[in-house]
Amino acid sequence: MVIRNKKIGNGSIFFVYLFILSNLLIAIKYTIAQQDHVYQSCSGDNYTTGSTFQANLNRLFPSSIQNRYYNATVGQSPDTVYGSLQCRGDIQQDECQSCVDFAIQDFNKTGRCPNSKQAIIWYEKCMIRYSNEYYFNRMQENPGISLLNVNNVSNPDQFNRILGELMNGLVLQATSTSSTNFAAGNRNITDLAKLYGLVQCTADIPSSNCNRCLLKAVSELPQGKRGGRVIKPSCNIRYELGDPFFESAPSPPPPLSSPTPPSSTNALVPNGNRNNSSKLTISIVVPSVVAVLFAIAFGFFCFQRKRQQIKKYTYADDEAPVTAESLQFNFSTISAATNNFSEANKLGEGGFGSVYKGTLPDRREIAVKRLSKYSGQGDQEFKNEFTLVAKLQHRNLVQLVGFSMAGEEKLIIYEFMPNGSLDQILFDPIKCTQLDWDRRYKIIAGVARGLVYLHEESRLKIIHRDLKASNILLDMDMNPKIADFGMARLFVHDQTQERTSKIVGTYGYMAPEYIMHGHFSVKSDVFSFGVLILEILCGQKNSSFHQSSGAQDLLSYVWRRWNNGSATEILDPTLKDTFSRVEVLRCIHVALLCVQEEVEDRPTMPTVVQMLNSYSATDPALPLAPAFFIGSTVNMEPQSNLGYSEEQGSSKNESVTSEVATGSVNEVTISELDPR
């Protein structure tokens, strides 16, 4: 800046420099904060610009927060917006406020997650979140992200051991001694190198849920890398080798230094001394400003250097937060959870291997399927196929918790179902009394909803291909959950059917077109569902059904009773007179439509759900004789009986694998041993 022909007083010079400095500080602050953006997740439906929802969103976040956490609710349904802000537990209140200020400004100006009704945006020191669904006090693990430093450590075995000790210790500290669900610390790797770690949960969830979230995150950390972090909606963890990325302890900010104000006598200095006074002021102010600018430049250089380190991180799949890395458990963790796969923990055994009950360190109960060592599937294929199915989320599907691999060992981890599989109760002469009519009807309706999700509503169109009583698991309240996707096939959404050269499934549940020609579609699952309904009503297996009334199979027996007007006589005798006649007749009607021989005569699953929910009007479609009915054109016997499958201790089922043509293709979504 060049100033000519004008004398500027010392106060003016000071304010000129102050103006330049403040603008430079603002620019640098914005640049640094911009780089602090770590990750964002946008989901849910879109809201309309100018809508009530947007107006509520604009009113959601405050100008300041206290205690590093804030949440609020604005508006009424259906335009209610829930939101929260949280800062990292080690930073000071003013840093927290600065991060929050920028986060709100950045969100409004950059258009992150435009028009999304759900968003989570993570910055280096704070997080901003909002949703049209209530999420306070609820632990959530998805969507999440895993990042890793691409540089390896020199001694991975020693490093991984110390990393595990550090992070597990921090989890214990955060959930047992801290009211803020936060902990940070370090461990020595060598005399010259330290490992730093940090764990934190959102302030609204209880310590038990925090413990569960953090332990899951720890199990997903990369092994043998110089740095890594896992970020989830309810918790996040991070570690770095040699980089103290957090503050040792929150402390009050130091007092800001400022130039000594001019003495009151300066105003009375004679004119002859004013030039000397101006020179003195400039000689004080200019070096001070230069020193401040030098400090800023040095800080910016350090930030750029750290930024280069951060750039070494690799993101997991941003578009699909459910990744193989986010689902993988250490084999030692699962081995310890199942007491080294002890016989006392075994729930069942089948052609794929064995199923064991386990308990994770956070006391969550799991069921672990230990696949046979001779499945022949590669590690990457196993990861990819598991990740695919893990994206299926529905209350009537068994939740896949994760997987683990170690050499030839491959484990699939499910949520544990306390009541086991449906066949264990339904076909047991004593336990079946637990299934009154209301529970049986609820199971039928729940399985139907699960199939609608698989066929129509999920991002993936899935044909299960092995729907049967042993693959329906029951939770604590007897709610049904479809399990075992070992034979499932993925369809594109406009695909209607496919042909396979290998028939896999369970005799008694397979549709005729599948057995005869290898053709399968959503209607193949519909057929299996019809058989399942009849088994639930009768309390008997289709594959081992025997009656003296001339019907040698369950389908023929029910059809005869339906035709002569005595349909309710097929019911399990334990139901007695406690059932609803209207609901029973509706279920039999639906089941007979589902097991029609011709594919086009069977309803789709959305139609099935609609029929099950309608009790008054008689549906126009009346069932014909079912497939495999004595006298029907099709009466197939299984070509082989090579094994059986179990799920969490289910009983044996006659599974069949047969070839209908030469050649082979990959027939499964999650590969398991054939024969089943």
Which positions are annotated as active-site residues? 466
Distance linking the first and last C-alpha atoms of the chain: 83
CA–CA distance, 182 with 88 (Å, rounded to integer) = 8
Nearest alpha carbon to residue 215 among 412, 363, 362: 362
> Do 669 and 383 touch, CB atoms closer than 8 A?
no
> Do 171 and 211 touch, CB atoms closer than 8 A?
yes
CA–CA distance, 239 with 198 (Å, rounded to integer) = 6
CA–CA distance, 239 with 229 (Å, rounded to integer) = 6
CA distances (Å), origin 240, targets 45, 49, 175, 208, 471 = 37, 42, 22, 26, 44
Q: Is 352 helix (H, G, I), strand (E, B) or coil?
A: coil
CA–CA distance, 609 with 490 (Å, rounded to integer) = 22
DSSP state of 613: T
Strands (E), 507-611: 519-521
- Calculate Rg over the CA atoms of the chain: 33
CA distances (Å), origin 216, targets 234, 402, 411, 413, 428 = 11, 10, 16, 13, 37
Quick one: tokens of 2? 């060049």
CA–CA distance, 540 with 542 (Å, rounded to integer) = 6
Task: Estimate to the nearest angstrom the gap between the alpha carbon of 428 and the chain centroid.
Answer: 35
Give the helix, strand, coil percentages of the chain, each rounded to 5.
40, 20, 40
CA–CA distance, 348 with 483 (Å, rounded to integer) = 14
DSSP state of 601: G
- Determine the residue type at 306: K
Nearest alpha carbon to residue 363 among 420, 421, 416, 400: 416
Task: Estimate to the nearest angstrom the gap between the alpha carbon of 663 and the chain centroid.
Answer: 37
CA–CA distance, 256 with 510 (Å, rounded to integer) = 78
